[in-house]
Structure 1
Amino acid sequence: MASSALSKWLRPEVYPLFAAVGVAVGICGFQLVRNVCINPEVRVNKEGRTSGVLDNFAEGEKYAEHGLRKFLRNKSPEIMPAINGFFTNPK
Structure 2
Amino acid sequence: MNETVLFDMLRQALLVSVRMSAPLLVVALIAGVVIGLFQALTSIQEMTLTFVPKVGLMLAVFWVTMSFMTTTLSDFYVGQVIPLIAGS
TM-score computed with the length of structure 1 as normaliser? 0.38
Determine which structure has more spread, i.e. the larger CA radius of gyration.
1
More helix by share: 2
